[in-house]
Chains A and B, each alone.
Chain A
Amino acid sequence: DVVLTQSPLSLPVTLGQAASISCRSSESLQYSDGNTYVNWFQQRPGQSPRRLIHNVSNRDSGVPDRFGGSGSGTDFTLTISRVEAEDIAVYYCMQGSHWPPTFGQGTRLEMK
């Protein structure tokens, strides 16, 4: 199975500052159709995961534009331009380019 490695595992932040989370794959995530199926999820305490980003950089409906995704091949990044209090959560990357779909281990965004 494809292994996704996120870093850091814990990210202390100050409100209003930027934050970036890395997701590295054990193999290229470009699918044979040319697309790259990398998603990012947010999970707040006590809640289910919520998809923020699909296909590397496409924000899902209702997701604030301070969230952005980038990357290609094996290296991907989720960036929050200005962290707000409601962004305190655990973030997961997920790949759907290779069977079975796999998730990163999660990055906990926490208040500094």
Chain B
Amino acid sequence: EVRLVESGGGQVQPGGSLRLSCEGSGFPFSQYWIHWVRQDPGKRLMWVSRIDSDGTSTSYADSVRGRFTISRDNTKNRVYLQMNGLRVEDTAVYFCTRESTHWGRGTLVAVSS
């Protein structure tokens, strides 16, 4: 069974940092691109970032570029999202997804003072 499990969310003040993790199992992790998608409190979905199968190519939404960094460790079946300079508008549930076919349950990031 394909599983994706996110962790690392929490409450942080504006300007703070968090590192999200997405662990995959039940499939050949190193063969798949992984994406991060977030859902804000109003339930709007927004694509955040993606990384290719071997970690050599990454992309970001304009609103997070320069603040967020995606990476992966295929020996640990994990993808990471380092989030710096967090803003109130980054408050959302963050999902990792395997090419939109399989999704984790999400981890909540709450940015407030």
| A binding-site residues for B, Cβ under 8 Å | 39, 41, 48-51, 54, 60, 90, 92, 94, 96, 99-103, 105-106
Contact partners of B43 in chain A: CB under 8 A: 90, 106
Bound: A99/B106 CA distance, A? 23
Contact partners of B106 in chain A: CB under 8 A: 48
Which B84-110 residues have a C-beta within 8 angstroms of A? 95, 100-101, 103-106
B47 in the interface (beta carbon within 8 A):
yes
CB distance from B27 to the nearest CB of A (A): 14
Tally of B interface residues using CB under 8 Å: 16
Contact partners of A41 in chain B: CB under 8 A: 100
- Within the complex, which residue of B45, B59, B101, B105 is in contact with A103, where a contact is CB–CB below 8 Å? B45
Bound: A90/B52 CA distance, A? 29
Which B19-49 residues have a C-beta within 8 angstroms of A? 37, 43-47
Cβ-defined contact, A100 with B61, below 8 A: yes
Cβ-defined contact, B95 with A48, below 8 A: yes
Cβ-defined contact, B100 with A92, below 8 A: no
Cβ-defined contact, A101 with B47, below 8 A: yes
